[in-house]
Structure 1
Amino acid sequence: MTEPALWLATETCGLGSYRADLVETYWKWEQDPSLMICYGRQVPESLEARAEGMQHQLRGANIRFTVYDLSGAEPVPIGVTTLLPDESVRTAEFVVMLAREARGRGLGVEATRLTLDYAFHVASLRMVWLKVLAPNAAGIKAYERAGFQHAGRLREAGYWLGQVCDEVLMDALARDFAGTSAVRALLDPHPTAAE
């Protein structure tokens, strides 16, 4: 694997480019049954179909990042975040996928915050939204920690473990994005005490 170019990073998490050479890694994560349940997807995909879809994704207008764990000696790819923009209204849908071994360590929250930072401070979006299956309590809590708020509910819109369930709508607004900004730190790596 080639050394990743990281665009935004904290001490333990970084966002880099979406990479064709990682298609098999992405595919393996997507075939994890626990991830399929969280997405409400019932059908696995072949590696050949995934590789074909990858070419379309690389040419598309969506914003995709590979998420890296930076806690070790070398960056390790652990997931993907995606923004699906609607340029006409300056909003985007957010999707995140984390490898099983990366979950429960706060990396998903960090990757989500970095993606929101990019969305609001580089892509100039005003709002980012997502859908999460209502029984996915851990996912909902992680999104809340990253800055998303509850915005509504789609009744009986998904499936969880073979049962019909609601989807929770959540959103994050640029004006509410608070805390440390990796983008702003790139522009001024030595802020004054007043900032």
Structure 2
Amino acid sequence: MRDGGCGLGPYRADLVETYWRWEQHPASLVGYGRQQPESLEARTEGMERQLRGDNIRFTVYELTGDADAVPVGVATLLPDTAVRTAEYVVMVAPEARGRGLGTAATRLVLDYAFHITNVRMVWLKVLAPNRPAVRAYEKAGFRTVGVLREAGYWLGRVCDEVVMDALAAEFGGPSTLTPLVAE
């Protein structure tokens, strides 16, 4: 799946060290609200479990002209099949932020969620001070639906978490999948 300069592909075991490097960057640790780094060994063990799990994971790629696609992030849907909803988690590599890739990847994942997995609602939590992420989610189709007061940490200080959702019924614009199924 692709949206202009962004595409989604399979989650890949051979990229575990790349994923780990992005996750250990201070900007990622702050953005996730995590307070401690993880060893590459622990991340590799986690990757093995993730590849066997029921969650839907993608590698996010930047597509630039004729060059090879460059991995720039990961996106995950954590489905709850009993109620046809899914939690969304995305991480864009620190060096790739600010170029609209998070918004494009989020739109692609919502398209996949609503048109392939047929979930009716996707939700997420984001730390309130992470304004660039909130704006990217809004551009992709999420709406703020609540706040978990003092539920997170940002740069050592307590902060709120914003809860956002996107509904299949409100997902606008043409699906990037339409040309694929019309062939």
TM range (shorter): over 0.9
Match of 1:44 among 31, 37, 40: 37
Write out per-residue CA displacement over residues 62-113 of structure 1, whole angstroms, 9 at most, x where no aligned residue.
Answer: 0000000002411000000000011110000000000011110011100000
Q: Does the alignment pair 1:186 with 2:147?
A: no
- In structure 2, the partner of 1:136 is 130
Partner of 2:22: 29
Aligned length: 182
- 1:97 partner letter: M
Which residue of the other structure, out of 106, 111, 115, is the alignment partner of 1:117? 111
Residue 147 of structure 2: SS of its match in structure 1? strand
TM-score by length of 1: 0.92
User: 2 CA distance for matches of 1:185 and 1:170?
Assistant: 29
What's the RMSD between the two structures over aligned residues? 0.8
Deviation of 1:47 after TM superposition, in Å, equals 0.3
Given that 1:11 and 1:71 are in contact with CA atoms closer than 8 Å, whether structure 2 keeps it comes out as no
**Counterpart selection for 1:103 from 77, 97, 104:** 97
- Counterpart among 139, 147, 151 of residue 145 in structure 2: 151
1:13: Cα distance to partner? Answer: 0.7
Equivalent-residue separation in structure 2 for 1:120 and 1:185 (angstroms): 16
When normalised by structure 2's length, the TM-score is: 0.97
Residue identity opposite 1:167 in structure 2: E
Distance in 2, Cα, partners of 1:137 & 1:27: 24
Q: Matches of 1:183 and 1:157 in 2, distance apart?
A: 37
> What residue ranges of structure 1 are gaps of 5+ in the alignment?
1-7, 190-195
Identity of aligned residues (%): 68
User: Does the residue aligned with 2:177 lie in a helix, a strand or coil?
Assistant: helix
Q: Equivalents in 2 of 1:157, 1:184: separation in Å?
A: 40
Which residue number corresponds to residue 47 of structure 2?
54
Show structure 1 runs of 4+ deviating over 6 A.
none
Q: Corresponding residue for 1:173? A: 167
